[in-house]
Structures are given as C-alpha cells and as structure tokens.
A and B are shown apart, each in its own frame.
Chain A
Amino acid sequence: MVKKVLNFFPTIDILVNNAGWTRDLLFIEKPRSDWEKEIAINLWGVINCSRAVLDVMIGQKSGKIVNLASDVGRVGEYKEAVYGACKAGVIALGKALAREVGRYQINVNSVCPASTPPVEEGSYGEFSLWKEMAGLFTPEIREKARKAYSLRRLGTAQDIADMVVFLCSDRASFITGQAISVSGGYTMV
C-alpha cells in the first residue's frame, strides 16, 4: 500500500489508523478466533501501518499519525475485553512512537470515541463491524443510550473526523503523545 502511494505521490503526510473490528460477547463466551481477529486488526493493523509509513515520514522530517483508539481502552467495558486491551495497546503504542519520532517533527496521537453507531441502516460497508452490531441499536436502545451521555446525544462519525482533522492540522503542531476522548462526556478521562 505504501509503495503504491509513493508511486503516485512524493510524500505521505498523514496516516489515520482507523481500521478496527469487534463483536460484543462476554470474555468467557467468546471464541479464540474472535480474539485473534481483534488483535490482528485493532493492534497488529496499527503496528503494521505505522511501521510502514514511519521510514517515509522520518525521511521527510514531518508527519502526522492519528490512531482511532477508544474510551474502552481507558475505562474497560462489558463484552469488549480483548478489544479494549487492543485499544489500550494502541494508546500506549502511540505514546511510545511519539517519544521516539518527535525529534523528526512527527506527531502521534490517539482519539478515543465512545460508541459511534451508524446514523441509519446501510450507512456502513460490507466488512464493517456494524453489519453484525447495527441491529442492536433499536430506537429504544438509542434513546436509552442517549441519556447516558452528558450532552444527551450519541456521537457521529463526523464528530470524530473533526478531531482527527484538527490533530492533523498545523494548529495542533504542539500536541503529541495524547489520547483525547471525543465521547460526549461518557468517561471524562
């Protein structure tokens, strides 16, 4: 992927590690194959992509990496044990990389959303985790969930994207190694 990008563009300025996957099940009920898929996508995915672009960014002496972590990685959550462990790992990975590559003017940060359900059925891709999970968000559940947030609404993909873009901008050039919650007051960590 990185080679292909460099065939078309001279630089890679920004990497957003967004790919992620989970399936809500109690730890003791979840098959090992699900854990392995979670670790492969949520943790190895971020390691692989970060490793692949860092040579380029170090050569450029500039770059922005933003990882999509999760509030789950900070406070833990039912039925998301290994997923949460991966997200906690992503936060720590981001901090370690920030320390190692700060001298090359590369900023590495993580954004921690709470639940960001799709706005409507079908507004997600074929491989999306929401293919299995979207059915859980009935209007009643949405209404109940809404009240758990200080701002009395659920997050949207755009809420998260706005923070990612801010962190990639020059306006955030002094911010690195941080995990920042965009979660409507869900955790307030």
Chain B
Amino acid sequence: MGEFSGKVAVVTAAAGAGIGQATARSLAKEGANVVVSDAHAKRTAQVASEIMNEYGVKTLGIQCDVRIPGQVGGMVDQTLKEWGRIDILVNNAGIDKPSPVWEMDDESWNLIIDTNLKGVFNCCRAVIPTMMKQRYGKIVNMSSVLAWLGGEEEGVAYVTAKAGIQGLTRAIARQVGQFNINVNAVAPGLAYNPFMDKLQPPEYFQKIRSQEILGRDGTPQDMANAILFLCSEKAGFITGSCLCISGGWFMY
C-alpha cells in the first residue's frame, strides 16, 4: 500500500522532461491512479502507458491544452467517467518565450499568460466542484522564485504569471478551505533538465549556480518530493502557502 493508494491525481504537462512527469511518476509509485495530461498527444499516450506498466497503477493519457476551457472540461469529464473522483490536481503546465519587455509582442504575452495563469484558473474551476462534493481535495500550483526576484533573461509575462499564481493560490485557498480542500503553491528555483539547454545559454545556468548555496542544481524530483508532501495527509493543515525549493537561491 502506497501513501496515495486509491487516490486519483491529475497532473498537467506530465509528459515532458521536467517536474510534471517526475510528479506523476512519484504519485504513481505511491499508488495513485494518474491522469497524464499534456498538450502533446503522442508523448501523453506514451508516458501514460509507461507509468501504468512501471508502477502497476491505472493511468489515463489525456491530451489537453489548459488554455482552452472546453478541453479542460473534457479532461475532467473523462476522468470522472472512468474513476468517479479527483483527489489531487497538480497545475504544472507552463511555457516561456524569453524576450525583453520592449520586444515582447501581444501574441507572446497572451500565450504565456493564458498557459501559465489562466490555465491554472481553468483547471481549478473545472475540478473544484468535484472536490467540494467529496469534501476533499489537494491542489498544488507551480509558482517560481522569479515571482519574487523578477528575471532579467526570462519573459516579463512569465514572471507576471508566476507572481499571479501566488495570488490565485491564496484567493482560492480562502474560498475552498471550508470544504476541506488545501490549495498551495511551490516556487522552484532551477529544476534542471537537459531540455533547458535548448532554451538558455550556459552563462544563464552559471549565474543561477552562483546563487545556489547548497552547491547543486535542483532536480524535477526535488520539486516532486515537495508536491507529494503538500498532497499528503501530513500537510493537512497547510493551505494558501508557497513553499520555495531553490537550494537557498531565494529565501522566502
């Protein structure tokens, strides 16, 4: 029996190389049945089947663009049809197109805000009525150290969205606490995966590494560990909090 046996967890952007897949795998390892949600159809199906085979839990691979309420609603409907409940929602989906503020076009701003911020709202709004009926639910949203620090190399829309997620987390936590639903955020520092090398030059990582006082990069697993803790019964009295996991880069 794992810590999350019998629970149903939805993890968005769970088919990539980062925090989402690490979280989906960790939940499955502890016995949860997992909805692997991602915008990429092929990887979604592949990761869902890998997790099912590796951990012996039930999985659903559902292609979903979190920007589109209809697709989010469809994902929730399909999950409820299969399993009848949703205990855990991890809002991990995010995107950035780094550019200075004076070069950022409307299209990029909208894409980033819609994915990172409105996507979290869309998923929360779709899942919370079920959690209210259950009188049980755990939601974890992905903020970032950049919400406090700003980012010289990162997009302003990304930083804005990640700060917005903290406000959204507190606002929702206040409203749904009475239904025994915990809503928290985690704020990762660098959760390094090799895919990131395609997005940023080596100097970008060196600058961050000089701030990581524990002398190592964070990993997707470091973040998954904290997300699992926040979804566990051990964190039952924590809501509206933001847990910063950055190896000392930022101290909240």
Which A residues are within 8 Å of any B CB, using their own CB? 95, 98-99, 102-103, 105, 107, 149-153, 155-156, 159, 162-163, 165-166, 171-185, 188
Contact = CB atoms under 8 A, between A and B. Distances in A.
Contacts of A182: 235, 237-238, 241
Nearest to B191: A174
A178 B237 contact: no
A177 B234 contact: no
B222 A159 contact: no
Contact of A175 (B170, B182, B235, B245): B245
B194 interface: no
A72 to B, nearest CB: 16
B229 interface: yes
Contact of A178 (B214, B236, B240, B243): B243
B228 to A, nearest CB: 8
Contacts of B245: 174-175
A150 B251 contact: no
Interface stretch (B82-90, B147-155, B171-179): B171-179
B213 A185 contact: no
Interface in B208-249: 213-216, 218-219, 222, 225-226, 228-229, 234-241, 243-248
Given A99-B248, A102-B213, A176-B214, A151 B235 contact: no
A54 B139 CA distance: 37
B180 interface: yes
The residue in A149, A151, A152, A153 that gathers the most chain B C-beta atoms within 10 A of its C-beta is A151
Contacts of B236: 151, 159
Q: Which 9 A-B pairs have the closest CB atoms?
A: A150-B177, A102-B213, A188-B240, A177-B251, A162-B234, A159-B237, A171-B225, A174-B222, A185-B239
Given A165-B234, A172-B229, 8 more contacts: A105-B215, A150-B173, A150-B174, A174-B216, A175-B243, A175-B245, A178-B252, A188-B240
Contacts of B170: 188
B222 A173 contact: yes
B238 A181 contact: yes
Contacts of A153: 237
A105 B252 contact: no
Interface in B122-177: 170, 173-174, 177
B218 A151 contact: no
A178 B235 contact: no
Contacts of A156: 237
A149 B177 contact: yes
A174 B173 CA distance: 26
A98 B174 contact: no
The residue in A156, A166, A180, A182 that gathers the most chain B C-beta atoms within 10 A of its C-beta is A166
Contacts of B235: 162-163, 166, 182
A176 B173 contact: no
15 contacts: A95-B251, A98-B251, A150-B173, A151-B237, A152-B178, A163-B235, A171-B226, A171-B229, A176-B248, A178-B252, A181-B238, A182-B238, A184-B237, A185-B239, A188-B239
A180 B234 contact: no
B238 to A, nearest CB: 5
A184 B215 CA distance: 33
A42 B27 CA distance: 39
A46 to B, nearest CB: 17
